[in-house]
Amino acid sequence: MRILLWHVHGSWTTSFVQGAHEYLLPVTSDRGPDGRGRAQTWDWPASAIEITPDEARAAAIDVVILQRPVELDGLARQWVGDRQVPTVYVEHNAPQGRIADMRHPAADRDDLTVVHVTHFNDLFWDCGSTATRVIEHGVVDPGYRYSGATPRAAVVINEARRRARVTGTDLLDRFAADGVPIDLFGMDAGALGGEDVPQHRLHDEMARRRLYLHPIRWTSLGLSLIEAMHLGMPVVALATTEAPDAVPAAAGVLSTRVDRLAEGARDLLADPERARVAGLAARAAALERFGLRRFLDDWDGLLEEVVST
Domain ranges of the chain: 2-138+292-308, 150-289
How many Cβ atoms sit within 10 Å of the Cβ of residue 182?
20
User: Residue 168 pLDDT more than 90?
Assistant: yes
User: Residue 230 pLDDT more than 90?
Assistant: yes
Over pLDDT 70: what percentage of the chain? Answer: 100
Q: Kindly state the average pLDDT of the residues 225-244.
A: 97
Q: Which of 65, 63, 87, 76 is nearest to 15 (CA)?
A: 65
Rg (CA), the chain: 20
How many degrees, rounded to 5, is the angle at CA 12 between CA 169 and CA 68? Answer: 80
CA distance 59 to 79: 10
- CATH topology match: 2-138+292-308 vs 150-289: yes
Give the tens place of pLDDT for each residue, 99-115: 888 999 999 999 999 99
Q: How confident is the model at residue 90 (pLDDT cuts 50, 70, 90)?
A: very high
CA distance 5 to 63: 9
- Contact between 238 and 256 under an 8 Å Cβ cutoff? The reply is yes
Q: Which of 277, 258, 280 is nearest to 268 (CA)?
A: 277
CA distance 198 to 42: 10
Q: Which of 117, 183, 127 is nearest to 152 (CA)?
A: 183
Residue type at 124 in one-letter notation: F
Q: How confident is the model at residue 43 (pLDDT cuts 50, 70, 90)?
A: confident
Give the tens place of pLDDT for each residue, 241-294: 999 999 999 999 999 999 999 999 999 999 999 999 999 999 999 999 999 999
Distances (CA, A) of 41 to 14, 29, 36, 37: 10, 18, 12, 12
Q: What is the pTM of this model?
A: 0.94
pLDDT score, position 80: 95
Q: How confident is the model at residue 198 (pLDDT cuts 50, 70, 90)?
A: confident
CA distance 115 to 151: 39
Q: Assign a CATH topology to domain 2-138+292-308.
A: Rossmann fold (3.40.50)
pLDDT score, position 200: 79
pLDDT score, position 174: 97
Mean model confidence pLDDT for the chain: 96
Q: How confident is the model at residue 42 (pLDDT cuts 50, 70, 90)?
A: confident
HSE of 10, CA atoms in CB hemisphere, 13 A: 15
Is 152 in a helix, a strand, or coil?
strand
User: Residue 309 pLDDT more than 90?
Assistant: no
Q: How confident is the model at residue 69 (pLDDT cuts 50, 70, 90)?
A: very high
The CATH code that applies to domain 150-289 is 3.40.50.2000
Q: How confident is the model at residue 40 (pLDDT cuts 50, 70, 90)?
A: confident
pLDDT score, position 199: 80
Q: How confident is the model at residue 175 (pLDDT cuts 50, 70, 90)?
A: very high
